Amino acid sequence: EAEVAQSPRYKITEKSQAVAFWCDPISGHATLYWYRQILGQGPELLVQFQDESVVDDSQLPKDRFSAERLKGVDSTLKIQPAELGDSAMYLCASSPGDATNEKLFFGSGTQLSVL
């Protein structure tokens, strides 16, 4: 069964450093999402792409976070500079974009620890 691939699985970085996460969605899925999940809470949407275009980035802290999906396939989420409060699980999801039968498929996530 096709899966959403994410790397790295774990990342430890120091405060003020730059960090990047990569996501490869299921082939053919036009919609891609980045979520952040703080321990003990549900995932929170950071950014949503439709093909290469950003549909919703209202919850993305744009002073330090950036996301791109240049060719409408894989995507990168970057944090620069990282802060202690950024420690969380970063989840990528993709979906085929069917309004009445929409299902999101999630990757296993990248666990970020900022020291």
Closer of 81 and 97 to another protein (Cβ) = 97
- Per CB under 8 A, which of residues 74..103 are in contact with another protein? 91, 93, 95, 97, 99-100, 102-103
Question: How many residues bind to another protein according to rule CB under 8 A?
Answer: 26
Contacts of 21 (CB under 8 A, 6+ apart): 6, 7, 8, 11, 76, 77, 78, 90, 92, 110, 112
- d(CA 89, CA 63) in angstroms, rounded, equals 20
Residue type, 106: F
The yes or no reply on residue 44 touching another protein (CB under 8 A) is yes
Closer of 81 and 87 to another protein (Cβ) = 87
Contact window for another protein (CB under 8 A) among 11-19, 42-50, 64-72, 78-86: 42-50
| φ, ψ dihedrals at 9, nearest 5° | -75, -35
Residue type, 74: D
Which stretches of the chain bind another protein, using CB under 8 A? 4, 31, 33, 35, 41-45, 48, 56, 91, 93, 95, 97, 99-100, 102-109, 111
